[in-house]
Structure 1
């Protein structure tokens, strides 16, 4: 746990996660007491917004489903405007373990601007095969070269960002397909932010249906290559104003 939990914001993008969200929020509060939680309801058509509000966390409402990228940009803007030193993304499906957050914060304390919870470098139920695995390997190889560091899981949504990354993403976080993972890391690397990763424990979804099947895996491969190409052709983003990060004592 950090010494200053009031400087950390957990952002939970949620789309139709009524079934899993209450347990995810309860687990976050148990593992990370005192840390603020912002649920961004991404135009859900079920009871996601209602169950989030019933837990007493902060809730932002998007009028229609805009995707994880737009939901996270909303969270980063809130974090930037309210002076949070760290923003942590935890998905609403129960796969991310809040007990791993201190390991991400330790990377920020060691000088990283972005800390990735790497699924394939850790433990747990996360396995990928076929086209999806090929795409992940290709993306990791290319982005590792751009970021000048070895990364194994550039499509992980389990991340912690320091103040510099928060302010950058509040302005530029991509909303397109895979923008919240692949393109955001390209944006960060081209802005000279330091990216590091640590292995985490990945769990099965706590509810709902997984999105992977052979057809979708093949589509993922093609879309991933297109997303990477688009990210590399965009102009370099402006560097945000410096906001000093003093560490949290995780």
Structure 2
């Protein structure tokens, strides 16, 4: 704890049955403890008088776990701590697992890391709604960040305080624990799981999670994060990677250097081109990521090739889509590239455009996918020949 400048942060609200036992268990390991009394109305304040060696913050009214954690982070930074391990006060976490977080941190290559306890959600005493909620949360965290975790809802965590301080965190209640890990991952913090034990004692445990309102708040937060991820984070990360590596290096490492088979890479290229040429403007990123996930294709390759519809190419895509659609319907259009960007009536020719763009997308997928497959095979054979001397 001293080596890493780490404290234990305990937000608590009306858990007087278990609070004393939790604090005593932590004190057996360390005195670096900060308790945030989130406006408790039970015997919490009285219990805390028995722990004068513990740093305490007493809030006048309950405003939610997220608010309590943010206040706790500020207090820990003011006391010059670098990390905070958060532990719930309802008795479900085992204080001895604090060592698990510290051991993981000691072995980590980077110190900009956020650890989340990974519970065994299959054990018999885990409530069914907790297991479902965790799976739901895990999927959306993966979609928003590209990082798959087995547990994203456990409150037993290690936070890098100076990195968390950089984030604009706005939610006050349970959804805060989703907000902070997503924004931390977007900001470059490594988010990982470490195994922890869990105890659900229904006689002692008091949960303040309100299924309908809190699940609704989490769903609204994830919806907003999905939109941000699709329209900003994923394109930002792609262009950063492309700019950093350059087109040639990106193709060699991320496309050709992938361990996927040539056919899988080719199908990924085909999917990306099909979506990029399709008429589903505004949904290209969402569709290509979802379909790449469903069909287990290479997501970076599919996303890269979906960008065939970059702004400079859009007039050409629309032009050829309209020409193909008109030819199929037997209603050829007299068009020029200039007319598309000036006074062209899209509503009147919408059917022609949609039909033509879908056909163009299919043709483009076959052509680019085929060329990609042959190119990858050729380059692979050349590598083998060079390696064999």
TM-score of the two chains, using structure 2 as the length reference = 0.52
Q: How does 1:12-51 map to 2 (within 5 A)?
A: 12-30=10-28, 32-33=29-30, 35-51=31-47
- Residues 175-226 of structure 1: CA deviation (Å, up to 9, x unaligned): 33433321111111121111000121001247254467xxx65666544322
Aligned to 1:140: 138
Q: Distance in 1 between matches of 2:14 and 2:57?
A: 14
1:129 pairs with 2:138 = no
1:43-64 CA-to-partner distances (Å, cap 9, x unmatched) read 1112212211321211101111
1:45-94 Cα deviation digits (max 9, x unpaired) = 12212211321211101111011001100110011222202101011111
Query: Secondary structure in 1 aligned to 2:183?
Result: helix
Q: Displacement of 1:107 after TM fit?
A: 2.9
Q: Distance in 1 between matches of 2:62 and 2:208?
A: 17
1:108 aligned partner: 105
Shift of 1:114: 0.4
> What are the residue-to-residue correspondences of 1:55-204 with 2, within 5 Å?
55-56=51-52, 57-109=54-106, 110=108, 111=110, 113-120=113-120, 127-129=126-128, 132-168=130-166, 172-204=168-200
By percentage of residues, which structure has more helix? 2
Which one has more relative contact order, counting CA pairs under 8 Å at least 6 apart?
Answer: 1
Q: Which residue of 1 aligns with 2:3?
A: 4
What runs of 5+ residues in structure 2 fail to find an aligned partner?
A: 233-389
- Given the superposition, is the C-alpha separation of residues 220 and 3 from structure 1 closer, same or farther in structure 2, using an over 3 Å criterion? closer
Compared CA separation, residues 20 and 217, structure 1 to 2 (3 A):
same
Higher strand share: 1
Runs of 4+ in 1 over 6 A off after TM superposition: none
Distance 1:64 1:3 in 2: 33
Mind listing any 5+ residue stretches in structure 1 that lack a counterpart? 237-250
**Which has the greater radius of gyration?**
2
Sort the Cα spacing of 1:147 and 1:47 in 2 relative to 1 into closer, same or farther, 3 A: same
CA RMSD of aligned residues (A): 2.8
Preserved CA contact (<8 Å) 2:175 2:217: no
Show CA shifts across 1:105-136 (max 9, x none). Answer: 23333035100001136x86652425x53332
Tell me how many residue pairs correspond in the alignment.
Answer: 225
User: Equivalent residue of 1:59, what SS?
Assistant: strand
